[in-house]
Amino acid sequence: MRLTDSEWKIVNCLWANKSMTLMELTRTLDTTTGWSKQTIITLLNRMVEKGIVTFVQEGRTKWFSAAIDRTEAELEETTSFLDKVYGGNVGLLISNLKCSDKLTKEQLEELKRIIEED
């Protein structure tokens, strides 16, 4: 399941906090997005329909939680990006990062260690 940029922002909040109310999400996201409460409601409703988010109703309060696994979502997004931009070639991605000086020496060492692991 592919997530939009807006959906990533919401689900990242939920992964970090396990569950949140609409007001908690609105306060948290307002500083980085400026989204109104109504925008977040619309996004949450769409995400519930897509199975990305679930909620538990306690009285008048809904507690929203992520319904998808973070690792699986990250892997799917990574695979999609790699296929779309680099035709699935990981070597091209790493080469571009290295040539653009986007990787620190520590990150390069970490990549070497990961590649050499079984």
pLDDT in tens, 32-80: 999 999 999 999 999 999 999 999 999 999 999 999 999 999 999 999 9
CA–CA separation, 115 and 109 (whole Å): 10
Q: What are the boundaries of each domain within the chain?
A: 5-66, 70-116
Q: What is the CATH number of domain 70-116?
A: 1.10.4040
Could you tell me the pLDDT band of residue 89, with boundaries at 50, 70 and 90? very high
Residue 100, pLDDT above cutoff 90:
no
pLDDT score, position 21: 97
- The model's pTM is 0.83
Q: What is the CATH number of domain 5-66?
A: 1.10.10.10
